[in-house]
Structure 1
Amino acid sequence: MITSSAHRMIEDWRLGFVATADAYGAPNLSPKGTFVVHDSKTIGFAEIRSPDTLKNIALCPQVEISFVDILTRRAVLIGGTARSVARDSDEFARLFPTYEELWPDLASSFGSIVLVDVTACRPTCSPAYDNGATASDLRRNWMQRVQDINSRHEQSEVTPC
């Protein structure tokens, strides 16, 4: 079951790192930035340019997804079984409006929607908490780091992917 704190983290950050394995057991880790919580047992993402992830899910549907609050250094690991919902299906048509509303500029690129039936939801956090750091301390420090990085990038040309 997806906890309320995990639900909040997924909706706040939307970016999850999806781990799959190929037919030989080799891992594939792929960031997906279009996550949605559908209900207490189901999350999903809009698939865009993810041929390896889709191929691996078709072979072995077990996935693990890591969501990280980069400011507080708290995370949640979601385990589950994934399946791809084809763009030409009735189920896709039912799911699509939620994703289209959140990412209208990307909607035409959605090849499918991948749904994950959640079987595990485990929180993790930085060892900094073991040394007495608080979420506020970490948020303040990492916000400063983000601002420093932003300032540095504003001064140089960043090459798009």
Structure 2
Amino acid sequence: MIEINADAEAIIKRAILSFVATVNDDGTPNLSPKASLTVRNGVLYFADIASPATIRNLKRKPAVEINVIDIFERRGYRFKGHASILPPGDDEYSMIADWVRSTNGPEYPVDHVVRIETLSISPLLSPAHVFAEPARTQDEIRNTYYQKYGVKRIGE
């Protein structure tokens, strides 16, 4: 298993929303947005709050890919791995379920917690990083996308 590094963890925290891909029975992709992706002790987890198809797919075939992008920095990571579904009562389940409920409210159901054995991690970079001439700094890219999205930094 590959441990999640500090930069990837920071992007997960900032991005909030990630996308989890699994494979349906008929071989078609299932893409599910997650706001519960988190890292604990170098390991990726997400909560099953309302994802019956994702859980059904992972029970049948535990292959998973997760993409997370910081929309302002225009970069992120692709994680590929093997999922384990943790039931209520499991210590890791409790750790993540408690975090979800403390973050979102006690009414949030956490049917399962999914632990990812990360097998590969690849950086994702937008063309803003790759093709800009002259090359732009991360601050320049971030400020460009704050402007495009009409976002102001807190305190500005």
Indicate the percent of aligned positions where both proteins have the same amino acid.
29
What is aligned with 2:84?
83
What is aligned with 1:12?
14
Tell me the matched-pair count: 145
Aligned residue for 1:110, secondary structure, equals coil
1:18, CA displacement in angstroms?
Answer: 0.3
Distance 1:106 1:68, change over 3 A: farther
Q: Which contiguous aligned blocks of 4+ residues in structure 1 show a shift greater than 3 angstroms?
A: none
Distance 1:126 1:118 in 2: 23
- After superposition, the C-alpha distances for 1:52-102 in whole angstroms (9 at most, x for unaligned) are 101110111010100001001101011111122223x23333443233222
* Stretch deviating more after TM superposition (92-101 or 47-56): 92-101
What is aligned with 1:143?
146
What is aligned with 1:62?
63
What is aligned with 2:36?
34
What is aligned with 1:48?
49
Distance 1:90 1:29 in 2: 26
Aligned positions of 1:110-121 closer than 5 A: 110-121=110-121
Distance 2:107 2:69 in 1: 23
Indicate if the aligned counterparts of 1:22 and 1:59 stay in contact, CA closer than 8 A: no
RMSD over aligned CA atoms reads 1.8
Aligned residue for 2:10, secondary structure, equals helix
Aligned residue for 1:83, secondary structure, equals strand
Distance 2:78 2:51 in 1: 21
Aligned residue for 1:101, secondary structure, equals helix
Distance 2:15 2:118 in 1: 18
Q: TM-score, normalised by structure 1?
A: 0.81
Distance 1:117 1:104, change over 3 A: same
More helix by share: 1
Residue identity in the other structure for 1:6: A
Indicate if the aligned counterparts of 1:3 and 1:121 stay in contact, CA closer than 8 A: no
5+ long unaligned stretches in structure 1: 149-161
Q: TM-score, normalised by structure 2?
A: 0.83
1:133, CA displacement in angstroms?
Answer: 2.7
Distance 1:140 1:90 in 2: 43
What is aligned with 1:124?
124
* Stretch deviating more after TM superposition (68-77 or 7-16): 7-16
